[in-house]
Structures are given as structure tokens and as C-alpha cells.
Amino acid sequence: MPPPSALSLKGVRKAFGPVQAVDGLDLEVPEGTCVGLLGPNGAGKSTTMRLLTAQSIADEGTIDVLGFSLPGESKQARAVMGLVPQLDNLDTTLTVRDNLRVFVRLYRVPRAEREDAIRRALEIATLTERADTKVDALSGGMRRRLLIARALVHRPRLVLLDEPTVGLDPQVRQELWALIDRLRSEGVSILMSTHYIEEAERLADTVTVMAEGRAVATGRPKDLILEHAGRTVLEVYGPPEHLRTVETAAQDAGHDHRRTGTSVAILRAEGLGGSLAGHAGHERAANLEDVFVALTGEEVA
Amino acid sequence: MSAGPETPPGSGSDRDGGAAAGAVVPATAGPRRRLGRLERLAIEGVMTREVINWLSFWKSSTFSSTVEPTIYLLAFGFGFGSIVSEIDGYDYVDYVGTGTVATSVLFGSAFSAMFGSFVKREFQRTYDAILAAPVDVEELVTAEALWMAIRASVYGCFPLLVAMIFGLDPAWGMLLVPLLCFPCAFGFASFGLLISAIVRSIDSFSYYQSLILTPLFLVAGTFFPLDGLPRGIQIASELNPLHHLVELVRGAAFGFDGWHDVARFAALIVFALVMWRLAIRQSTKRLIT
């Protein structure tokens, strides 16, 4: 028997007018794992998140969340999951504590456990010292930590993270990664949409690459890399005409390659031979970014 | 009116604790787990948010909702009062003092519903946050309208208190005023939520304000009796909830008019229920895509 799914989408389609935002998406989050939903802007990641909280209703397909079938049983599902939205929607004129106080009510934490839940959330967000500070006065990183902690007050079994670190400093981002990693180690199932490759690579057990509303590849990061980009990548630098020659050679030899601004990256460089072998370049390990570009044809931020 | 017949009191709370321990959720949801509509916990949750927010800005909110009707009261009471001493057998300050209760209810409900909900939906994204929790649009709208109606019903009493300073005689019936205000306030709060769910831009509110709310507010019998108006307008004013509220408040202050006032109160309840359902329908369209 396969491990139970915290979340499962099958053949989900959703159009907004003429725009097919989600186009036959299959997606699985096995319980206790972190799945990264990786895709460029407009790939349908945010629509997928909205479908999972039933703030959008799918045109076709089935969605199951923690054993509840959406949209009919979405309220039950929402009671046992948490959403960290991409856009900060904290009550900025309220204190940190009051923001949490509202959400322990909305998430129906029993009265006797509310104070504990708030204390725990403050600890998770490492904002205990700032509990009585108004959100207005918090830094961007603190606000994001509060946004995450707010989604955890009811100890959800599934957490949806919609671009959790978008627009934050690298240092703050690492702080949040530690927080998310801790959640994962506690056995919470996580679906995290992101367009930061490194984020997916570090946190996700499996990654689903999404393009134009559907999943184009799913697997563990290292399997995906091996399958779609090989072991090593050769980066060849040089003047534009030289790069064009290299591209043509790669084309002829049937090697996937991509232009990365100042260089040409040739995937699966471990099998390199013939006219390509002679090109001097910098050999490096293939990474998820290579996969992403190979699959979606888009460069990433 | 908050609770329909399908309200299951407190259902669903049994699961909250269980989830904490990471209990295994069965593959199919049994009837025990089915969460109902219009749940008390959801409505309380949304209202808690409103109350906590209100506590952080109650001064400005109370100021704008009570001072403006008071200014009307003073301006008309003393402005017209110097020309007109009595209307329909009432002292003019008493007449306007009781009438502006409805004005205050309108300002406290319809306006804060329109602007407040637009800001919460479009700018602060508060509704997105609430709807990601186990709260449905129906509960969200109901809780918002309930809170605004309670608040506006209390604000509605301020003009009476001010009028008392200027000579309005207290009466036991006045204790009923918040209750009389409530369905009207709930209806106008729902109306505000409805309009907010219709408009694309916050500027569009001025159309509804100028074409609907201002006429309703002026032709409600607040500042002058409707007897002198053309017959068509008199008949139309029977459809104006504010007019009924004005008459009911005068009834509370000076003596009720039997079944006629019962009918007026019933009309306000119908108004409230119709607006409530319309607000839910339109908000669902707007919020669930």
C-alpha cells in the first residue's frame, strides 16, 4: 500500500475566462513530506494554492486534502491545515499577540489551550519579546515569521506555503528555511510553492516542476537532476560568436544546452565527446536550475 | 437572525484537540465531521477580529459615527428650531433628536460596511486570511454584518442622549431603541457589504451614496414631516427602512402606534433578511473565484 497522501490532485483544471491557469494538474504530497512546487511566474502555483483552500473552485478534476474531498468538505480540510499566503495580510495596527489571538479563535483552538497556542506560536516565530509590538513596527522578516506562526496555532497536519520567502534578504530567507525545516522534521506535511531553485533544493523531499498549469516533472531533486540534466554541466564562456559556435556544436551533438547570459551551459557534460570535448570551460555539478530551465524553457530569478 | 435552522451548535469542536496529537484522519469524512453552515465558532472568530480591531481605533470610529449626527441635530435643531418651534405636535429639537437616531444608524452601518469591507478585501487581504481558516463566506458576511449592526445600534443612541441635554424628556420606551435599531442596522450593514462586493473601485461608492443613501436619509421624516411631500414620494417612503426606524424611535420616545409600529418593525426585519442573503450571494461571487 502506498503511503497515505496529505494532499492529492488529479486532473485538475481551472480557467479564468480565456486563461487556462491550471491545465490538468496531478500533484501528490505524501504524508510527512515537503513537496516543492517549482515554476516560473504564471505557471499556476498561486491558483493551485487557492484551489486547496477552496477560494477557487476547480472546473474539473478531484482534490483531496487530508482525506477530505474538495470543495464539498473544504471547511473540514481548512480546519486541519494552515496557509501562509504570499501577500502579507496581517492586521498591521494590532500587536503580534492580538494577531495570534484572532487566529486561535478562527482556527477553533479550545479555550483552555488558547494561551498555550499563542505562546507556542510566539516561540516558533521567535517573537516572544515582541509580543506586544504592533505589526507596523516589525521588520519584513519578523512579519513573515509571524505570518508562518499564525498558520500554525492549531497544529495543522498540512501547511501550504505560498512563496514563503519572496522578496526577503538572503539572510532572512535562511532564517525562514530553518523554521520550515523544523516543521518538516516534526512530521508536518508541507506543500511549498516557490520560484527560488535553492529553496526547493534545500527543503523539498520531492519537487514538482510546474509549467503552463501542469506538472512537467516530479521526483527527488537529485533524481530530477540526473534525469534531466545529467551529472555535470559544462559552462563555456567567451565572446558571443564563440558561444554561437559552441551552441551549434551542442545542437549537432544532440546535447541539451542553454544560454545563461555570458555563457553557454551544456547539460550532461559527462558524456561529452567529439567537437564539443575540445571547448575549454568550467565543469560543475548539474543542479535543479538546469532542470528547471530544460523543462520550462525559462530562466529563473 | 444570525442563526438559520441548520445551525449545529458547536459542531466540529471535537476535532480541534485531536488534530494536535497528529491523530490519523479517516479516509472518508463521516457525518460527525461534517461542519455545518453558520457555525457559532466561525462567526465568533470573525467578530473577535472585529472587536479587537475596534478596540484599537474605537475613538476615531465612535467619533465619526456619533459626532456627525450630532452636528445635524444641532444644526437643524437650532437652525430650523428658531423658525419652526413645533412639528406634528413635537418640540422641534425633540423631533430632530429622535429622527437623527436613524441617521446615526445609517452612518454607522452602511458606510463602514462599504468602505471597511472594500479595504479588508482589496487592500489588506484580510478576507483571504479569514477564508483560509474554517470560515465560509456566509459566516464571514454574517459576522461582519452582526458586529456592525450591534455597533451602529449602540451609536444610534447617542443623538437621543444629546437631545436629552437639550430638553428631550427621557422615557422608558427609549430603552428599546437599540433593539429597534438593530434590524435596520443589520440591513444597512448588509447593504454596504453587498455594494462593496459589486463595485470594482472604491470611488464607485459615491454613486450609491448619492443615488440611494442620501435620498433615503433625507426623505425619512428625520428633519421634516413627509405629509407635505407629493403623494408619490409619500408612498415611496413606505419602502424606506430609515423612515420606519424614525417612526419607531419616535414611538419609543413618545408612545407607540400599536400594530402600525409592529408592522414597521416587521418590515425592518424583512429588509434585514433580504439584504443579508443578497450580501452573501454577491460576496460569494466576489470572493470565491
Q: How many CB pairs under 8 A join A and B?
A: 129
For chain A, helix (H) and strand (E) counts, in that order, are 11, 14
Rounded to whole angstroms, how far apart are CA atoms B96 and B159?
9
**Would you state the cell numbers that stand for residue A250, as one nine-digit string?**
551542442
Interface of B with A in 19-48 (CB under 8 A): 19-20, 22, 25-29, 33-35, 41-42, 44-46, 48
How many Cβ atoms are within 10 Å of B152's Cβ, its own excluded?
Answer: 28
Beta bridge partners of A95: A134
For the stretch A201-247, pLDDT in tens is 889 999 999 989 999 999 998 888 888 888 888 888 888 888 888 87
Query: Where in A131-272 does DSSP place strands (E)?
Result: 158-162, 189-194, 206-211, 214-219, 232-237, 257-259, 263-266
From the list A75, A93, A155, the residue facing B56 with the nearest CB is A93
From the list B12, B56, B130, the residue facing A108 with the nearest CB is B12
Cβ neighbors of B111 (< 8 A, separation 6 or more) are B192, B213
Is the full-model pTM beyond 0.80? yes
CB distance A89–B129 less than 8 Å?
yes
For residue A94, the chain B residues in CB contact (below 8 A) are 52-53, 56
CATH topology of domain A231-285: Alpha-Beta Plaits (3.30.70)
By CA distance, what is B137's nearest residue in A?
A: A55
Q: What is the CATH number of domain A5-220?
A: 3.40.50.300
Rounded to whole angstroms, how far apart are CA atoms B31 and B242?
44
CB distance A107–B134 less than 8 Å?
yes
CB distance B45–A73 less than 8 Å?
no
**Would you state the cell numbers that stand for residue A106, as one nine-digit string?**
478562527
Cβ atoms of residues A76 and B29 within 8 Å: yes
From the list A54, A105, A187, the residue facing B48 with the nearest CB is A105
pLDDT tens, per residue, chain B with 289 residues? 343 444 343 343 333 333 333 333 334 434 445 567 899 999 999 999 999 999 988 888 888 777 887 888 888 888 888 888 888 889 888 999 999 999 999 999 999 999 999 999 999 999 999 999 999 999 999 999 999 999 999 999 998 998 898 889 999 999 999 999 999 999 999 999 999 999 999 999 999 999 999 999 889 999 888 988 899 999 999 999 999 999 999 999 999 998 999 999 999 999 999 999 999 999 999 999 9
Residue ranges covered by each domain of chain A: 5-220, 231-285
Residue ranges covered by each domain of chain B: 39-287
Among residues A18, A36, A70, the alpha carbon closest in space to that of A209 is found at A36
Q: Quick one: CA dihedral A200, A206, A212, A216, positive or negative?
A: positive
**How long, in residues, is chain A?**
301
ipTM of the complex: 0.89
Cβ atoms of residues A9 and A197 within 8 Å: no
For the stretch B109-121, pLDDT in tens is 999 999 999 999 9
Tell me, yes or no, if B59 comes closer than 8 A to chain A by beta carbon: no
CB burial of residue B239 (10 Å; 0-12, 13-18, 19+): exposed
- In A186-287, where does DSSP find H-type helix? 197-203, 221-229, 240-253, 274-277
Please state whether the peptide bond connecting residue A71 to the residue before it is cis, i.e. omega within 30 degrees of 0.
Answer: yes
Interface of A with B in 35-94 (CB under 8 A): 50, 53-57, 66-69, 73, 75-76, 78-80, 83, 85, 87-94
From the list A87, A94, A108, the residue facing B16 with the nearest CB is A108
Looking at residue A134, the DSSP 8-state letter turns out to be B
CB distance A76–B134 less than 8 Å?
yes
